Structure 1
Amino acid sequence: MTNTSHTMIYRVLGSDEWAEALSSGHYDGAPHDIADGFIHFSTIDTLAETLALHYPKRGGLRLLHVPVAAVDDKLKWEPARGGTLFPHLYDQLSVEHVARVDDLKLDDNEVHILPEDLRAG
């Protein structure tokens, strides 16, 4: 199943996980990814919800921007959460495929602040 409406997908991970990926040249995923057999990604439309559900009030996070074209041959768009299609990478993520990395800060209410160019409205 493909989804051609998105050109970029996003992965949230801890700064320690990103440092390890940089050291090894690839990211294998968090324990839940490894158990599921794929690396979970978000789209711009699901990113804020992913942060709120899976990383509430957690500091020290990085946001990886990955072009769909770089991983399309190993990417599957599969339904989750009420039928919403999520991108799942059935492979390691090479650090070479990461186009941009942002630090995710928390606001005064401990809600993650998305980079300005990713904010809705």
Structure 2
Amino acid sequence: MSELPNLAYKVLTAEQMAALEADGTFAGAPVDLADGYVHLSTCEQLTETVDKHFAGQENLHVAAVDLGSFGGSLKWEESRGGQLFPHLYGPLLLETVIAYGPLERLADGTVKLPVAG
């Protein structure tokens, strides 16, 4: 990945998505709180993230996050297989979410990205 993307994605349960909508902020899922940052994935990493960490779960949502708003609280760190993942050291704010919706899959099994509008 030569140039880092300006969008990343957060997978949320229905309850977490409702809390983000209601509160305008999301401190993180239990794994985020334990690790000290909100886990995000690029579009290329999203399907693998869902398959690995959310297998068998229903009522999931995907939020597209504008990474340009976070400044120093966003760090790209090596994780799974040496890939760089965006990690947000602070809360996810609803104002930085440009699109979100229920998790859906395309015919090839990849996760469908939420579209604004």
Q: What residue in structure 2 maps to residue 96 of structure 1?
A: 95
Given the superposition, is the C-alpha separation of residues 114 and 105 from structure 1 closer, same or farther in structure 2, using an over 3 Å criterion? same
Q: What residue in structure 2 maps to residue 62 of structure 1?
A: 61
Identify the range of structure 1 (46-55 vs 16-25) with the bigger mean alpha-carbon deviation: 16-25
Deviation at 1:5, TM superposition (A): 2.5
Deviation at 1:113, TM superposition (A): 5.4
Determine helix, strand or coil for the equivalent of 1:105.
coil
The answer to whether the 8 Å contact 2:64/2:114 transfers is no
Q: What residue in structure 2 maps to residue 45 of structure 1?
A: 44
Deviation sequence 1:74-121 (CA, Å, 0-9, x none): 1000001121110000000111110000211368xxx96522689xxx
Give the alignment's Cα RMSD to 1 decimal: 2.5
Provide the rounded CA distance (Å) in 1 between the counterparts of 2:113 and 2:33: 31
Provide the rounded CA distance (Å) in 2 between the counterparts of 1:117 and 1:24: 21
The answer to whether the 8 Å contact 1:8/1:67 transfers is yes
**Structure-2-length-normalised TM-score:** 0.85
The answer to whether the 8 Å contact 1:12/1:63 transfers is yes
Q: What residue in structure 2 maps to residue 75 of structure 1?
A: 74
Provide the rounded CA distance (Å) in 1 between the counterparts of 2:113 and 2:91: 29
Count of residue correspondences:
114
Provide the rounded CA distance (Å) in 1 between the counterparts of 2:67 and 2:30: 23
Determine helix, strand or coil for the equivalent of 1:69.
helix
The answer to whether the 8 Å contact 2:62/2:113 transfers is no
Q: What residue in structure 2 maps to residue 15 of structure 1?
A: 14
Runs of 4+ in 1 over 4 A off after TM superposition: none
Deviation at 1:57, TM superposition (A): 2.3
Structure 1: gaps of 5 or more residues: none
Q: What residue in structure 1 maps to residue 112 of structure 2?
A: 115
Structure 2: gaps of 5 or more residues: none
> What percentage of aligned pairs have identical amino acids?
34
